Structures are given as structure tokens and as C-alpha cells.
Amino acid sequence: MSRSIPQRIIDSSKSNELRVTLRVGKDGLSQAVIMELKDQLKSRELVKLKINKGVISERRGRESIISELEASTGSVSVFARGNIAVFWRV
């Protein structure tokens, strides 16, 4: 990505105050999840997503889901740890 991420966005993405508003459940990554992320990014600058542990247990699989969400929504993952990712509306 050519644009740098502002420090305030990075700090906000790591805050415990930011609540999970979207989950990838047992059905995995679906069009409904992609559309919901797009909708939430229209009204919020940051969206925190949780990938349920039963969906995928390995790191590469989670990274794949995050990359696919970035590409499908035009957003950027500014923070990812374990099964949590925060997306920023660019």
C-alpha cells in the first residue's frame, strides 16, 4: 500500500474501547460477511472483526481471510492479532 496509516488510526485500532462488531462464523467467509463489512465501513472509520476459532485454526488461513476481505471491501487491515482484525476505511 502506498498510503501510510496515520498514527491515530493505529492507536485506535489497538484500543480495548473498540468493540467487535462483525464475526466470521462457522460458515466461514461469505458474501454476507463481505457486504456487512462494506456497510459498516460506510458509517465507521474502523471495524473490528473476530474470526471464530472453529472456522480456521492456522495463521495462514486467517491471513488469507483478512487479505480477501481487504481486496473485496477496499479497506486495509491496520491491526491483526490472533483471530481479531481491525479494518480501516481508506
Output the pTM of the full model: 0.91
pLDDT at 2 over 50: no
| pLDDT tens digits along 33-69 | 999 999 999 999 999 999 998 888 788 889 999 999 9
What's the pLDDT score for residue 45?
95
Q: Which residues pair with 46 in a beta bridge?
A: 88
Angle between helices 31-43 and 59-73 (to 10 degrees): 60
Following CA atoms 7, 13, 15, 18 in sequence, which dihedral angle do they give, to the nearest 10 degrees? Answer: 140
- What is the predicted pLDDT for the residue at 3? 65
* Domains, the chain, with CATH or none: 7-89 (3.30.110.60)
List, in order, residues 6 or more apart from 80 with CB less than 8 Å away: 62, 63, 66, 86
pLDDT of residue 24: 94
Q: How far apart are CA 83 and CA 90, in angstroms?
A: 22
CA distance 35 to 32: 5
